[in-house]
Structure 1
């Protein structure tokens, strides 16, 4: 991890933070900068700020990031569950436990390592550590993730994510019985001030976040819900379900209840709909529940039969 420090000049004052950083290093894309800001890797005078913060003269900005020059991403022959692929995009059903892209201390066995073995080319917009990566899902979240094979596709998909036209549906098994059939959680999410590794519903340094859910099945102590992301904040579903008192089962970071061994949160991205960057065709891709998730549901049904 490297740290880069910038001091804002009088001429650069009143510029948005993300635009300021993009002007300092042409190799940094706006999407990469946005990710670094979201991850809390950018501080202004020792404080986390949003991307739209207007920098002031003499502000001290510290940017933390992996040094791409020090990391080499090697292709690895790791099996991929490919649910859709053409010349522009590839949609992967990611298994539990797989990290999306390399970082310091975790350079092998990632989805990017596997993609580099499978694909000849990937979009270079997000640098050598995140080739083709348009969005991410957490290590222990399973399911669909779309990857861009070229910069044209990457730009199109990024815009669709920004305009909220990509439809992402997740299944989650949560603690407790949700009494109503539908709901919307509209609560801003930002970095947890007490734990930099966590996100939280907070009024400070937060961004709008909306999750829509509907109940699929109720059990005596659990509820299976389908969640639709309107926004795509870090850990959004996990944070929002905890916020309403129904944390995701198996979530070691956000759930205060440990009732079964799951090896991570029971959260699965089961459907992804997007407009194809080249053909403008609407594409819908689906992935069935992982075996472990399905077996847990079957056990709950058997107990209550």
Structure 2
């Protein structure tokens, strides 16, 4: 049976005086989805059909309906696994920000896998009987953290919000901040690494600066403090390439401590990379939120000499 997702909005001063067409565009709904709403007449204002040129007024009730076929990925079926609870540090009607532990995969790669973040969130949503956009909430991937990385990650609860959040990521409207312990002493207090990243010439699992099919990549870093030739950095991504922080830091001679692919695991039990915060404007709402995740117990504030 086809699924229909429904969003309802009471118009405030933020959108009053704008046409429906302008409002949907401002909300970053993709053109193909805006077109589907218009062609199917899958929107109502105060229960009535109106043209997309209609100017919204304060207290108007706008209803949007979305069908399976409107989305490139409309279904999200991850077998629920309730054996482990993942911390949720922020939740809206449309998405959560989860606190992923180091060592946990984001999603299954085979049909038999069920020990991933999305499996645990599927169980959490089901047990809490969550509803999102009028139907039972399910986890949808928005962006990823490497298995070895801990911290804040966005997971959608319905397919409507996925392309909106993806557009916000592409437009650099979502600010992601990381902490990393790296080897060595930095030559300055801050810097920018601007180096394209592509597939490693010798190992397709890895990425490298100036590799195959390279894409632009920019990482900003700031030194927090140094101890025993090990430095704690705060990092922000301007782009989101696979393994970007790991590759960039290794390329400048300061690999992340505990990184088995690009650094050294000597003296650590995990890779010392933690996604500490996410800042974004809430879709549809417009208000800005900064969500922080504290450093976990296995991510020390100080490191030993060894």
Over aligned residues, Cα RMSD in angstroms?
2.8
Q: Which runs of 4+ in 1 moved over 4 A?
A: 29-32, 120-123
> 1:227 & 1:122 partners in 2: Cα distance?
35
Unaligned runs of 5+ residues in structure 2 are 1-67, 133-137
> Residue 221 of structure 1 aligns with which residue?
229
> Residue 97 of structure 2 aligns with which residue?
91
Say whether residues 1:209 and 2:211 are aligned partners.
no
Say whether residues 1:75 and 2:83 are aligned partners.
no
Secondary structure of the 1:112 match is helix
> Residue 255 of structure 2 aligns with which residue?
247
> Residue 268 of structure 2 aligns with which residue?
261
> Residue 145 of structure 1 aligns with which residue?
153
**Which structure has the larger Rg over C-alpha atoms?**
2
> 1:221 & 1:185 partners in 2: Cα distance?
21
1:94, 1:144 within 8 Å by CA — same for their partners in 2? yes
| Aligned-pair CA distance for 1:104 | 2.1
> Residue 290 of structure 2 aligns with which residue?
284
1:191, 1:205 within 8 Å by CA — same for their partners in 2? yes
Deviates more, 1:103-112 or 1:146-155: 103-112
Say whether residues 1:156 and 2:164 are aligned partners.
yes
| TM-score, normalised by the number of residues in structure 1 | 0.70
Deviates more, 1:274-283 or 1:184-193: 274-283
> 1:273 & 1:31 partners in 2: Cα distance?
26
Secondary structure of the 1:298 match is coil
> 2:267 & 2:211 partners in 1: Cα distance?
33
- Structure richer in helix, relative to its length: 1
> 1:266 & 1:111 partners in 2: Cα distance?
19
> 1:147 & 1:290 partners in 2: Cα distance?
20
> 1:30 & 1:223 partners in 2: Cα distance?
43
| TM-score, normalised by the number of residues in structure 2 | 0.69
Instruction: Please give the residue correspondences for 1:1-305 in structure 2 after superposition, counting only pairs within 5 Å.
Output: 73-77=78-82, 78-104=84-110, 107-120=113-126, 131-202=139-210, 204-255=212-263, 257-262=264-269, 264-294=270-300, 297-300=301-304
Question: Against the structure 1 CA distance between its residues 122 and 203, is the aligned structure 2 distance closer, same or farther, given a 3 Å change threshold?
Answer: farther
1:241, 1:248 within 8 Å by CA — same for their partners in 2? yes
> 1:281 & 1:216 partners in 2: Cα distance?
29
| Aligned-pair CA distance for 1:30 | 6.7
| Aligned-pair CA distance for 1:240 | 0.2
> Residue 35 of structure 1 aligns with which residue?
none
Across the two proteins, how many residue pairs are aligned to each other?
A: 231
1:152, 1:277 within 8 Å by CA — same for their partners in 2? no
1:122, 1:132 within 8 Å by CA — same for their partners in 2? no
2:257, 2:268 within 8 Å by CA — same for their partners in 1? no
